[in-house]
Structures are given as C-alpha cells and as structure tokens.
Amino acid sequence: MQELKTCPICGDEFKTRHGKDEKFCGYECSARGRGGKTEYNSKEVKCDNPDCSNTLKVKKSKRENQDHHFCSRGCYYQFKRENQKGKNNSAWKGGKVKKTCEECGKEYKVRQCLSNKTRFCSMSCLGVNTVKNMPKNDTKIEKIIEDWLEQQDVPFEKQRPIGGFTIVDFFIYPDICVYCDGDYWHSKQETKKRDKQQTKKLKEMDFKVIRLSGTEIKNGKRPDIDG
C-alpha cells in the first residue's frame, strides 16, 4: 500500500512504493540523509557541442574518465560527425587504399580490410572478367563466322569486352561488333531486351553493330563488314 510521506531533507511530499519503508523522496536526499556527499560529486558542466549552450550535471567519476560530455544524443552525434572524421574517429583503421582493376586498369579506392578480397572496380568489370575466363566452346554458328572471317583474311578479336556491359563475339577493327545470336536463347523476351539495350549503347559509342541469328548464318548470310 502506498503511503504519503514528507522528505526530512527537502520537505517535499512523496508517495512510497508498494511494500517499501522509504524515508526520502529520491537518491540525492537519501545520500544527504545518510551522510553522503552527492551534492559535491555532481557538477554543472557545459555541453561540449559548440553549437549548444546547455549545461548538464556530471558525476566526478565521469568527469575524470571521459573527455567529452553532452546534454543529448543529438549533440553527441553532431559533435562526432564534425570532429571525429578520418584519423580522429575511434574506428579508424588506416583509411582507404588504392588498387588497380584487373579488368579495365582503372584505379579505385577500397577499405584496407577489403584490400585483399577485391580485384575489380565494379560489378560490371567482375562480370566481364568472369565471362571472359569461363571455359567456353564455340557454338556451331560462331565457328562458321570465324572460318569465314579467316577465309576473307579479316583481322578480328574473339570475345572482346566493351564498356563493361557486353562481350562481343567478334570484334573487327576499328569499330565493328559482330554477334552470333542463337535462335533459342535470343528469342526470349528478356534476352531480346538486353540485346536491344546493348546495341543502343554501342551505337551511342560510335560502333557499328551486326547481329546475325543462327538461322541466318546457317542459310548463308554473312556480316556486311564493308557497308
């Protein structure tokens, strides 16, 4: 049962908690009543956020062991954002290091903890490198075009990555991209959409794009490299 009492230290009335024989209204009055020195342990200090003019009570132990004191979490986070960047941050581990992409040769920065785990500057370069180094047998239609190019004495490069978004079946210098599109996979809607996007990007980069379907190649059609 709660009981209404008067604090013998400050004179304030307070209600006791259920089943508690309390004499004082709070911890500070309790410490004073028992001969403690709480009033001397806590001290008013200014919030360390330079944009804040508030003060707060800080115990002696915290004043001795902590460098900064804040009146709120907002002030703490603002101070941390402005004053604990880079090397001043407690989580600083040396900053980012420079690496060279194994696919495109571009320099990029990465956190030190990831420096031994990354080899590429982007997911595009990772994808291109993966496809490039994936064991691959030429399809029948690719073999037909390759033999034809060799017969025509045309210099070309097989599986040439361009722009980090496509790998050309045959690249003919200086600017011709030849694709041999199998009928099955390249008849799917998603593949058609991807092919269209790739062709658009290549044309924007001033490449000439030639796409031949499997049926066209088998029926004797060859890339018009002179047009």
**Which one of 5-19, 36-50, 172-186 scores highest in mean pLDDT?**
172-186
pLDDT tens digits, one per residue of 54-113: 988 888 778 888 888 898 888 888 888 887 776 666 666 677 889 999 988 899 998 877
- Per CATH, the number for 136-218 is 3.40.960.10
Per-residue tokens: 42: 């806590």
Per-residue b or e along 160-199, where b marks 16 or more CB atoms closer than 10 Å to that residue's CB: bbbebebbbbbbbeeebbbbbbbeeebeeeeeeeebeebb
Domain range annotation of the chain: 1-41, 45-88, 96-129, 136-218
Distance CA 17, CA 5 (A): 11
pLDDT at 115 over 60: yes
pLDDT tens digits, one per residue of 172-215: 999 999 999 999 989 999 999 999 999 999 999 999 999 999 99
Between 199 and 33, the more confident residue is 199
Between 42 and 142, the more confident residue is 142
Distance CA 15, CA 201 (A): 77
Q: Percent of the chain beyond pLDDT 70? A: 89
For residue 120, the tally of other CB atoms under 10 A from its CB is 20
Ranking 12-16, 35-39, 186-190 by mean pLDDT, the lowest is 35-39
Indicate the pLDDT class of residue 6, thresholds 50, 70 and 90: confident
Distance CA 119, CA 135 (A): 20
| E strand segments, 12-93 | 13-15, 43-46, 55-58
pLDDT at 39 over 70: no
Indicate the pLDDT class of residue 22, thresholds 50, 70 and 90: confident
Q: What pLDDT score was predicted for residue 89? A: 66
Distance CA 215, CA 140 (A): 11
Q: What pLDDT score was predicted for residue 104? A: 86
pLDDT at 49 over 60: yes
Task: Summarize the confidence of residues 41-46 as an average pLDDT.
Answer: 82
pLDDT at 155 over 90: yes
> Global pTM?
0.47
Query: What one-letter code names the amino acid at 207?
Result: F
Indicate the pLDDT class of residue 37, thresholds 50, 70 and 90: low
Q: What pLDDT score was predicted for residue 28? A: 73
Q: What pLDDT score was predicted for residue 19? A: 61
